Structure 1
Amino acid sequence: MINVMLVDDHAVLRDGLKNILEMEEDIKVVGEAVNGNEVVRVVTSCQPDVVLMDINIPDKNGIELTGMLKRDYPSVKVLVLTMHSHDEYFMAAIREGADGYLLKDLPTDQVVEAIRTVAKGESIIDPTLTKRLLGFYNQKQEASSTSELTDREKEVLICLVSGKSNKEIGEELYISDKTVKIHVSKIYKKLNVKSRSQAIIYAVQHQLVPLP
């Protein structure tokens, strides 16, 4: 069972999400918070696996709260769900350790799957944001740090930036899921990142993958 906490000051949205999530057999909403001051108290009392975090909430914003939760409750996954597609919000949330970043116009079934994804220890980024990131950078010579990656690790990194899951990467490269996880772990270590989303941001910023 995946225990989920909702952080949003809009009651209608919160109630709607709760009703949708509790229709899933493997998900349970164990707590809610409407402002920043409530978040720590509710997290401490309900011990969620995943916090679904809005950015615009009273007292403390969701980005600040994300950083605080990732420092004080490292086992808790934070999935940002917001209306903000601005680059500064997205980048700030990733820097603070968010395990995922989704926009509120995403279909609810994809939000449900995203919760399952981050609960498993993987990261997820809204597809529209990944495409925009790729469009921000012109194709240039690869950064020198790519020399630290093996050819196979570069292939896996390209798949990560394309938004493929571990299973899809394995199928494309004809390797097992276990082997994919080993390559991903090595990529994280070499790039000094802690999540899939951070690896994607790093790869795009440093032109480590071919860009359109």
Structure 2
Amino acid sequence: MIKVLLVDDHTILRDGLRNILELEKDIEVIGESTSGNDAIDKIKKLNPDVVLMDINMPDKNGIEVTSVVKKVFPEVKILMLTMHNHDEYFMSAIREGADGYLLKDAPSNQVVEAIRTVAKGESVIQPSMTKKLINFHQQKKDSATNEELTEREKEVLLCLMEGLSNKEIGDKLFISDKTVKIHVSKIFKKLNVKSRSQAVIYAVQNQVVPLP
């Protein structure tokens, strides 16, 4: 069972999300929060698997909450669900460790599947935001990696940039899921990142591999 905490200061939206999620047999809404500080308290007390997080909230915003939570509870998955499609919000959320980023106009079934995806340790980025990421040009290039990626690791990284799951990567490259996980782990270590979405951002900003 995937335990979900809803964090949004709009009651109507929380009620709607709860009604949708309660129809799923493998998802349980264990709590709701209307502000950033309360969200942090609820996460400490309830230990959710996934937090469905808005950005605009009283006291701490969703990005600030994500930063705090990921430092203290890195195992908690955070899926941003927001109206903001601006580059700065998106990039900031991912840099702070968000595991996914969806816009509030996303279909309900996409939100449900995104929860399942991030719960498995994979990332979800709304297609329109992925395009923004691919088109993003950093003014000052970050420092280069200490270790070069192998050719196979570059192939896996390209698959991550296409948003493929471990199984899809394995099928495409004719390798096992276990081997994919090993490659992903090595990529994270070499790029000094903690999530797939952070790896994708780093790859785009630093031109680690040709864009797909």
Structure 2 equivalent of residue 62 of structure 1 = 62
Structure 2 equivalent of residue 52 of structure 1 = 52
8 Å Cα contact 1:127-1:163 kept in structure 2 = no
Q: Does 1:178 align with 2:188?
A: no
Cα-Cα RMSD: 1.8
8 Å Cα contact 2:146-2:190 kept in structure 1 = no
CA distance in 1, matches of 2:102, 2:201: 15
User: Within 5 A, what are the aligned runs for 1:62-101?
Assistant: 62-101=62-101
CA distance in 2, matches of 1:56, 1:120: 26
CA distance in 2, matches of 1:42, 1:188: 29
CA distance in 1, matches of 2:115, 2:149: 30
1:35-73 deviation per Cα after TM superposition (whole angstroms, max 9, x unaligned)? 123112222332211110000011111100111111122
Q: Give the AA of the match of 1:23.
A: L
Indicate the SS of the match to 2:51.
strand
Indicate the SS of the match to 1:209.
coil
CA distance in 2, matches of 1:150, 1:92: 29
Q: Does 1:134 align with 2:134?
A: yes
More off after superposition, 74-83 vs 18-27: 74-83
Indicate the SS of the match to 1:208.
coil
Structure 1 equivalent of residue 201 of structure 2 = 201
Structure 2 equivalent of residue 11 of structure 1 = 11
More off after superposition, 102-111 vs 143-152: 143-152
Q: Give the AA of the match of 1:26.
A: D
Q: Does 1:102 align with 2:102?
A: yes
- How far apart are residue 144 of structure 1 and its match? 6.3
- How far apart are residue 147 of structure 1 and its match? 7.0
**What TM-score does the superposition give when structure 2 sets the normalisation length?**
0.93
How many aligned positions are there? Answer: 208
Q: Give the AA of the match of 1:211.
A: L
Structure 1 equivalent of residue 118 of structure 2 = 118
8 Å Cα contact 1:137-1:211 kept in structure 2 = no
**What TM-score does the superposition give when structure 1 sets the normalisation length?**
0.93
List alignment gaps of at least 5 residues for structure 2: none
List alignment gaps of at least 5 residues for structure 1: none
- How far apart are residue 94 of structure 1 and its match? 1.1
Mark the CA change 1:135 to 1:40 in structure 2 (over 3 Å): closer, same or farther. Answer: closer
